[in-house]
């Protein structure tokens, strides 16, 4: 997922990372870079399937819509397990936890690569989501514990930047690798990347203790805060509208006339737009506040998806328009996330770590909802699926206006 500005708040460190040694020297930079490699591996695992979805569907003898539900299963599992694992695994020393999570990811991807059927594939995607849910939040917390307080935001941006790069690169690279090899070999390479990251964390990461266990009831207690309850559904709806269909990006591109030789760079345009949109939105939130930024983001997302739906329905096969729409799709989808994060933190500043975790869970719930909706509508036609996404983005814009007082 793209880089999301994190509020500079001590609870996010103390509740998740334990009593880490704060070190502003270069000794903290090497582990931070290794953690970024880990988040890149996690992000690649989450997103790469979209690059070879049709080939995977053919091999496993299921429809493309059914194969896309592997992304839904991953997202649901992450959303459900994220707060649970944060509670259960809190006392585990951080290095052991991070290495173990990456080892689980490596094993899960190897299992996916060797899956003889769709059922085994789904089971291994559940296992992979569990590893991702254990790794990503703790990687950010450990990075913030390894550096001096004035360097925490920078360290977090480096670590989460691994997810940003995965968003931009994993799907087009997966698409290219599928053409050169096959989808099983691609997942095998992802397993190897996770194993390399695990070995690097084991070799470089200093020992950090676990953290006091925070009851799941307390983690979910932030949901009783009126502002959080009002704002959090927008994470689900916004990501469902913008990102849910990305698992079906290749079939959608073919619906607007893009050929196999054009898929990889068109997918790269989506990722580049996502990175740029996220960076621009972060700066705009600091200057103009979250509500205005989200208003622009949801309005532009609605127009982008509606235009995409029109092009697919009318049979418009004009490559420059497709390229523009792909870049705009990525940018407008992730334009909302910095503002949403700021709104949630402002709604419950005393529970920063908790609301960050809830937002991550809601984000994956949105991916699950969007991919499920795409799986239902894509067999009808791509225009219907894109039109539903545009309608959902418009509903998000209306909901934002209703909840704007929770700025």
Can you give 20-52 as a three-state secondary structure string?
CCCCCCHHHHHHHHHHHHHHHHHHHHHHHHHHH
User: Which pLDDT score, from 0 to 100, does residue 43 have?
Assistant: 84
What is the set of domains in the chain, with CATH numbers?
A: 1-214 (1.20.1250.20), 215-407 (1.20.1250.20)
Rg (CA), the chain: 20
8-state DSSP, 403 = T
Going from the C-alpha of 301 to that of each of 15, 255, 268, the distances in angstroms are 36, 19, 18
User: Which pLDDT score, from 0 to 100, does residue 25 have?
Assistant: 45
User: Which pLDDT score, from 0 to 100, does residue 247 have?
Assistant: 81
3-state helix/strand/coil string of 263-297: HHHHHHHHHHHHHHHHHHHHHHHHHHCHHHHHHHH
Taken as a whole, the chain contains a residue count of: 407
Q: CA-to-CA distance for 178 and 186, rounded, in angstroms? A: 7
User: Which pLDDT score, from 0 to 100, does residue 325 have?
Assistant: 96
User: Which pLDDT score, from 0 to 100, does residue 153 have?
Assistant: 53
Nearest to 186 by CA among 75, 110, 133, 103: 110
Nearest to 395 by CA among 368, 366, 375, 360: 366
Q: Angle of helix 152-180 relative to helix 183-204, nearest 10 degrees? A: 150
Under 8 Å between Cβ of 10 and 168: no
User: Which pLDDT score, from 0 to 100, does residue 154 have?
Assistant: 63
Class of residue 196 by CB neighbours under 10 A (exposed 0-12, middle 13-18, buried 19+): middle
User: Which pLDDT score, from 0 to 100, does residue 157 have?
Assistant: 60
Residue environment code for 255-291, b if the CB has 16+ CB neighbours within 10 A, otherwise e: bbbbeeeebbebbbbbbbbbbbbbbebbebbeeeebb
User: Which pLDDT score, from 0 to 100, does residue 11 have?
Assistant: 38
Under 8 Å between Cβ of 183 and 98: no
Helix segments in 181-225, DSSP class H: 183-204, 216-221
Question: Which positions ≥6 away from 27 have C-beta within 8 Å?
Answer: 206
Q: CA-to-CA distance for 34 and 40, rounded, in angstroms? A: 10
Q: CA-to-CA distance for 183 and 121, rounded, in angstroms? A: 12
Under 8 Å between Cβ of 386 and 374: no
Going from the C-alpha of 243 to that of each of 238, 269, 333, the distances in angstroms are 8, 14, 6
Q: CA-to-CA distance for 364 and 74, rounded, in angstroms? A: 8
Under 8 Å between Cβ of 169 and 268: yes
Residue environment code for 107-123, b if the CB has 16+ CB neighbours within 10 A, otherwise e: bbbbbbbebeebeebbe
Under 8 Å between Cβ of 348 and 9: no
Q: What one-character-per-residue DSSP string does 65-104 give? A: HHHHHHHHHHHHHHHHHHHHHHHHTTTS-HHHHHHHHHHH
pLDDT tens over the chain, length 407 residues: 444 444 433 333 344 344 444 444 445 567 888 888 988 898 888 878 878 888 899 999 998 888 888 888 988 898 888 878 878 888 899 899 999 999 999 999 999 999 999 999 999 999 999 999 898 878 877 876 777 766 665 666 667 667 767 777 777 877 788 778 889 999 999 999 999 999 999 998 888 787 666 666 766 676 778 888 899 999 999 999 988 888 888 889 999 999 888 888 998 899 888 888 877 887 788 788 889 999 999 999 999 999 999 999 999 999 999 999 999 999 998 888 778 878 887 888 776 667 767 787 788 888 889 888 888 898 888 999 999 999 999 999 999 999 887 65
């Amino acid at each position: 997922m793209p880089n999301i500005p994190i509020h500079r708040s001590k609870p996010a460190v103390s509740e998740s990372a334990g009593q880490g040694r704060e070190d502003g020297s270069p000794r903290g930079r090497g582990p931070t870079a290794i953690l970024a490699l880990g988040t890149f591996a996690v992000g690649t695992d989450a997103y790469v399937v979209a690059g070879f979805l049709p080939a995977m569907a053919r091999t496993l003898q299921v429809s493309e819509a059914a194969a896309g539900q592997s992304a839904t299963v991953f997202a649901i599992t992450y959303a459900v397990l994220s707060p649970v694992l944060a509670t259960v695994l809190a006392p585990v020393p951080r290095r052991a936890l991070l290495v173990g999570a990456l080892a689980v990811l490596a094993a899960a991807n190897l299992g996916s690569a060797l899956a003889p059927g769709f059922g085994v594939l789904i089971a291994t995607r559940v296992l992979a989501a569990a590893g991702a849910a254990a790794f990503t939040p703790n990687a950010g917390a450990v990075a913030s514990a390894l550096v001096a307080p004035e360097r925490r935001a920078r360290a977090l941006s480096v670590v989460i930047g691994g997810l940003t790069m995965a968003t931009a690169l994993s799907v087009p690279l997966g698409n290219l690798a599928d053409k050169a090899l096959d989808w099983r070999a691609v997942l095998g390479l992802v397993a190897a990347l996770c194993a390399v990251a695990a070995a690097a964390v084991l070799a470089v990461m200093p020992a950090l203790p676990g953290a006091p266990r925070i009851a799941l009831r307390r983690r979910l207690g932030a949901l009783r805060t009126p502002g959080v309850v009002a704002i959090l559904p927008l994470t689900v709806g916004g990501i469902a509208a913008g990102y849910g269909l990305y698992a079906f990006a290749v079939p959608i591109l073919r619906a607007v006339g893009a050929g196999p030789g054009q898929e990889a760079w068109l997918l790269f345009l989506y990722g580049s737009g996502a990175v740029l949109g996220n960076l621009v939105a972060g700066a705009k939130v600091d200057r103009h506040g979250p509500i205005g930024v989200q208003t622009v983001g949801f309005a532009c997302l609605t127009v982008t998806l509606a235009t995409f739906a029109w092009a697919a329905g009318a049979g418009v096969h004009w490559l420059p328009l497709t390229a523009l729409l792909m870049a705009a799709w990525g940018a407008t989808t992730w334009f909302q996330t910095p503002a949403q994060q700021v709104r949630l933190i402002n709604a419950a500043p005393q529970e920063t770590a908790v609301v960050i975790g809830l937002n991550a869970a809601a984000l994956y719930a949105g991916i699950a909802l969007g991919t499920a909706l795409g799986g239902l509508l894509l067999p009808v036609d791509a225009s219907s699926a894109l039109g539903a996404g545009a309608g959902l983005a418009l509903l998000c814009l209306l909901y934002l206006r209703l909840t704007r007082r929770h700025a």
